[in-house]
Amino acid sequence: MTSEETQISEELKGCYENLIVIDIGANLTNKKYGRDLDSVVQRAKDAGVQKIMVTGTSVRNSKEALRLTRLYPSTIYSTAGVHPHDAKSMVEEDMWSELQQTAAAPECVAVGECGLNYTKEFSEPHVQRDVFKRQVEMACELRKPLFVHEKEAQDDLIKILDEFGNRLPPVVIHSFTGSVDQGIRYIEKGFYLGITGYICKDKSDGGIRRLLSERILPLDKLLVETDSPFMYPNMRASKLPLHVKDSLTERSMNFVNRYCTFQRNEPCALPAIVELVAGFLGRSPEDVALATAFNALKIFGLSQ
């Protein structure tokens, strides 16, 4: 860490010693929050979630995410992009102009959610690749980070990103659920990995848990997110190691148990995810909160 980063870390340490964290991915434009979004945002703040990035997955959805940044200034930020499932919808040039205009707004801090998904081909792979490539170009032009979705498409995804060489902005692999080998490949490229409540669901010997427990994923490439309303952190998962369960505090568990379900996860679950990550890493939750908050502030240029 450079002397400048060390100084910033010391300044932030006081802010994050009470597990104040940043959720880099929540789908708060989802209709499941239509009736009580104010309460959802307030609960997140009460839990210690200082900032929330609301994910854009289509042109319309990205505009709605941007609207939320103006309703909750300095708390909510947005991304603007087209999810691979929606790639087939980008048929008119006017839609690209709208997306570019939305992504250029100062409250929009990344281009995405964009990428490739070959597990559910709602859009043909060649269409996904074309639409993704155009969004990478947009991120390069705007000099904003890429918020990337990838499922069963790592080779093609990296091939496209490599075409942009040194022009490529920071890349965040959103809601990483891959293998150790896939994680290592991303880390070696200098990409960041977003970890969600999927950590409870992953029961493989070669997935996220191993990336963390063997400290293959360094703290300076780690980010945390809820991906609400998805990726509910099931704390009752029988295969969570005892030492990891012991890392969970009553306070964080209360937020999850009272307000989050399989049908509707919330950003207030993020401190519990931080504690889970810390348990697998064998580090303190404070260290994970500080590192992930620092990474988010640095990558996305969020105001403190």
- Residue 20 tokens read as 């104040």
Distance separating alpha carbons of residues 249 and 87, to the nearest angstrom: 41
CA nearest neighbour of 286 among 247, 239, 237: 247
Beta carbons of 84 and 116 less than 8 angstroms apart = yes
Distance separating alpha carbons of residues 115 and 82, to the nearest angstrom: 8
Other CB atoms within a 10 A radius of the CB of residue 261 amount to 11
Output phi, psi for 120, to 5 deg.
Answer: -130, 100
Q: Is 126 annotated among the ligand-binding residues?
A: no
Instruction: For 46-107, list the strands marked E by DSSP.
Output: 49-54, 76-80
User: Dmax of the chain from CA atoms?
Assistant: 54
Distance separating alpha carbons of residues 43 and 38, to the nearest angstrom: 9
DSSP state of 228: B
Distances (CA, A) of 245 to 171, 219, 275, 276: 31, 21, 9, 8
Q: Is 250 annotated among the ligand-binding residues?
A: no
Q: Please name the residue that has the structure tokens 């993020």.
A: 270
Q: Is 243 annotated among the ligand-binding residues?
A: no
Beta carbons of 19 and 286 less than 8 angstroms apart = yes
- Residue 73 tokens read as 């200034």
Q: Is 174 annotated among the ligand-binding residues?
A: yes
Q: Please name the residue that has the structure tokens 């896939």.
A: 182
Distance separating alpha carbons of residues 105 and 18, to the nearest angstrom: 32
Distance separating alpha carbons of residues 232 and 178, to the nearest angstrom: 17
Q: Write out the binding residues for a divalent metal cation.
A: 113, 149, 174, 227
Q: Write out the binding residues.
A: 113, 149, 174, 227
